[in-house]
Chains A and B, each alone.
Chain A
């Protein structure tokens, strides 16, 4: 399998403190790749660095051979990396459908003049993205809620909305930052199925999650971060039998 995302020596430093230490990560095209590690290991920092929200002090990253390090966040999104947030960041004051459509921003081409005239192309573009958005909402299980205000959704549904919105980018890689946090077992299973279905659509998934039971069956590969460094890498089976990983999770000095 070819490599979709690759980082080399990715380093993030906060005033002398290393949040990430020279991380070399490879995510295979078409995989569900898990990123695990104890609290404070640098998982969220990794996702933020990959999306340009945190400046890196050294290292490089590329998506399918396209170098992206140092690029602004929107450009990284435009290049095909979509994400959700650990603390939900839906747009209040917008309906569910409007929220979803923000994710389609990069597909819109109509000029100001075309919008003011409401040209046929502008209308068609809006119509086709609206259809895509409804489909995405259906896909994540939010059918029929498109007219509702986003803030009125339940917590679990807000997480699903974030996923639908990210899917609208038509990304090559989807980064999910603790998408299962705060859900009950049934909800977690449903969402895991959705994540598999996303992968089956040809979108590579990089997921951060604490629930090892789910991660064991969901992920094709796992990478373990510990104190900002990559500790282990491999299939779930390999990783969980790695003594280094076990001691890191049990809190002993690795």
Chain B
């Protein structure tokens, strides 16, 4: 018997929670084909609101606010209702204006809303865990089976609540007017509208129910693990999405099945594999990638929902008009690809190293070029090829860990070689780290790049999580959460480039090389093939472009740059840890490009400059000093607004020519 029985109970519990949250994803995806990444945050908000309602008082924005101290069975439905309403508000404000926009727009908006909600929650409830209060139902003595299995009454409650809501939803979708309207909208929104179905109300309903399910799952999760935390929704949200894809996105029984399956595999892997607890998440994501590679429609999925509609965020040329007119004229002038202008820009960037004497600001410039280069790499994938990549930071991590492990753990640690004697290896590693990242990208991408749009984004997310879990848990290789210290600074013929001034100049030189290289590829048949895929994949394929191969090429080229920048980053910071490579970094880089201008050369650097200077300026504001996370809330908000009003970003007019200059 040993632990088997107990694992079974745990798996059922977790499976019920995953299944509930998976329903949220599946319902909304089924109706409007949007992966609403923000469900993870609605899950978290459900938990926080329920806990707050159950307490006599709670600290909000740092002030003790009186609370009603409701019993669990009252607080739970109340929290679910509040979050359901919030879900509808989010849909109305952030997604409905994007109903007819290219698919990438609502997807990016969803990510931005997710960042926004998480940051706001953190400033309301603070960065600390909020303990789940004790309540009568949770205090009942457990039922003991076979002397070894302990079942708490709450665990039975979770299971019953999950099963009841699933059955309720299935009946609702099958037999009510609204349910039929939902199925009709899922089948064909245009036809549904024509036969008089109020499509907007149906979509709002899907968000209402989905958010309620996410909130219910969040409360039950928080209750099971007895805490609420601003980031608690992230991983379960990802798992729920995995479960939805596993079961077949769009299918409600599929969500239930996928949730249970994922929970069982994870729980038993954690229970029986050596050091399983550390690897349980990796097992889940490995399954996700396998499913996407071999059966993207999932177990019960009816159809392969992977036909991405044509069109991109940057296709339409903007005319200088209104508020942005001066900005547009400026970037139209700046981005015309004039050689003299480009050289002048480079000279100004170099001169900054000598004008600015303050080390603090020079260090900030090092960040600007690092992020600018990273964003340029991701821009190949997102901006030029039009693929959403949420795993780009993994390449950055591969480059950084490759050079750090080689220099610190192998060469110095095992062979006692002084890094000063092999200073040139840093420069070779820029290339090797990039090549390694590109290779890994190609290996992982090969089976999945035939997928379109959203599925690819989910796959890259899974890839990112696996790399992060490896970096955190393979302690012999990466030193785990401690990170790797003492990475040598870059040097030139034995002269260490320690000062921020030299690091900036080195980063700048690399940036110029990177942009130059990207420009040469983009201004050729390769770039034209990428942009053709972005604008209309079917037409590109019909014109003889092997689209899968070119997507892979785009992915690998972006990965190369990610790896290269990782090597530079490791040596310029002298310290790396898994924290530098979180998914949040990836979202940030994505936001930088969108802000600066997708599919332009200057956009990534512009976005990086704006963001990093904003961070510095914001540090002086009292509000930000009290609530630093509001900076990210602002970023999320700006991004949603950009998606609605100006998806082309600031440098929209700096369109890149796709022709080789004569």
> Chain A: residues with CB nearer than 8 A to chain B?
51, 53, 72-75, 77-78, 82-83, 85, 89-95, 97-98, 101-106, 108, 110, 112, 115-116, 118, 122-123, 126-127, 129-130, 149, 151-152, 165-166, 168-169
Q: List 17 A-B contacts (CB under 8 A).
A: A72-B541, A74-B542, A74-B547, A77-B541, A90-B536, A91-B315, A93-B315, A93-B534, A94-B531, A98-B659, A102-B528, A102-B545, A105-B545, A122-B524, A126-B525, A130-B659, A151-B315
Task: Give the residue name and chain of the B residue nearest to A117 (CB).
Answer: B520
User: A105 and B529: CB pair below 8 A?
Assistant: yes
User: A115 and B524: CB pair below 8 A?
Assistant: yes
User: A102 and B540: CB pair below 8 A?
Assistant: yes
A119–B144 CA distance with the chains assembled, in angstroms: 77
Q: Is B66 an interface residue (CB 8 A)?
A: no
> Which of chain B's residues have a CB closer than 8 A to the CB of A169?
543-544
Task: Give the residue name and chain of the B residue nearest to A79 (CB).
Answer: B544
Contact of B542 among A83, A98, A104 (CB under 8 A): A83
> Which of chain B's residues have a CB closer than 8 A to the CB of A90?
536, 539
Contact A51-B542, Cβ < 8 Å, known A91-B536, A93-B535, A98-B659 = yes
Interface residue range, chain B: 35 or more
> Which of chain B's residues have a CB closer than 8 A to the CB of A89?
310, 536, 538-539
Contact of B532 among A77, A102, A110, A152 (CB under 8 A): A102
Having A74-B546, A92-B311, A110-B524, one finds 12 other A-B pairs with CB under 8 Å, namely A72-B541, A74-B541, A93-B535, A93-B599, A95-B658, A98-B531, A101-B528, A105-B525, A105-B543, A115-B520, A115-B526, A165-B543
Q: Is B312 an interface residue (CB 8 A)?
A: yes
A232–B316 CA distance with the chains assembled, in angstroms: 44
A106–B525 CA distance with the chains assembled, in angstroms: 10
Q: Is B521 an interface residue (CB 8 A)?
A: yes
User: A151 and B543: CB pair below 8 A?
Assistant: no
> Which of chain B's residues have a CB closer than 8 A to the CB of A129?
525
User: A91 and B525: CB pair below 8 A?
Assistant: no
Contact of A92 among B525, B535, B658 (CB under 8 A): B535
Contact of A93 among B317, B520, B539 (CB under 8 A): B317
A112–B524 CA distance with the chains assembled, in angstroms: 10
> Chain B: residues with CB nearer than 8 A to chain A?
310-312, 314-317, 517, 520-521, 524-526, 528-529, 531-532, 534-536, 538-547, 599, 655, 657-660, 662
A158 to chain B, nearest CB (A): 12
A106–B543 CA distance with the chains assembled, in angstroms: 8
A246–B546 CA distance with the chains assembled, in angstroms: 43
User: A74 and B545: CB pair below 8 A?
Assistant: yes
> Which of chain A's residues have a CB closer than 8 A to the CB of B529?
102, 105
- How many A-B contacts if CB must be within 8 Å? 122
> Which of chain A's residues have a CB closer than 8 A to the CB of B524?
108, 110, 115, 122, 126
B176 to chain A, nearest CB (A): 27
The 4 closest A-B pairs by CB, nearest first: A92-B315, A77-B544, A89-B539, A93-B315
Contact of A118 among B520, B525, B528, B539 (CB under 8 A): B520
Contact of B317 among A51, A115, A151 (CB under 8 A): A151
A87–B660 CA distance with the chains assembled, in angstroms: 30
A167–B476 CA distance with the chains assembled, in angstroms: 59
A174 to chain B, nearest CB (A): 12
A122–B545 CA distance with the chains assembled, in angstroms: 18
B385 to chain A, nearest CB (A): 12
A83–B315 CA distance with the chains assembled, in angstroms: 22
Contact A85-B544, Cβ < 8 Å, known A93-B316, A94-B658 = no
User: B544 and A105: CB pair below 8 A?
Assistant: yes
A43–B549 CA distance with the chains assembled, in angstroms: 30
A128 to chain B, nearest CB (A): 12
B435 to chain A, nearest CB (A): 12
A223–B70 CA distance with the chains assembled, in angstroms: 76
User: B659 and A97: CB pair below 8 A?
Assistant: yes
A95–B662 CA distance with the chains assembled, in angstroms: 17
Contact of B541 among A73, A94, A165, A168 (CB under 8 A): A73
A197–B541 CA distance with the chains assembled, in angstroms: 26
> Which of chain A's residues have a CB closer than 8 A to the CB of B521?
112, 115-116
> Which of chain B's residues have a CB closer than 8 A to the CB of A78?
544
Task: Give the residue name and chain of the B residue nearest to A98 (CB).
Answer: B658
> Which of chain A's residues have a CB closer than 8 A to the CB of B536?
89-91
A195 to chain B, nearest CB (A): 19
User: A93 and B659: CB pair below 8 A?
Assistant: no
User: B531 and A91: CB pair below 8 A?
Assistant: yes
B510 to chain A, nearest CB (A): 15
Task: Give the residue name and chain of the A residue nearest to B539 (CB).
Answer: A89
Most buried by A among B529, B546, B662: B546
> Which of chain A's residues have a CB closer than 8 A to the CB of B538?
53, 73, 89
A115–B526 CA distance with the chains assembled, in angstroms: 9
Contact of A149 among B311, B317, B532, B599 (CB under 8 A): B317
A116–B516 CA distance with the chains assembled, in angstroms: 9
A212–B314 CA distance with the chains assembled, in angstroms: 40
> Which of chain B's residues have a CB closer than 8 A to the CB of A74?
541-542, 544-547
> Which of chain A's residues have a CB closer than 8 A to the CB of B545?
74, 102, 105
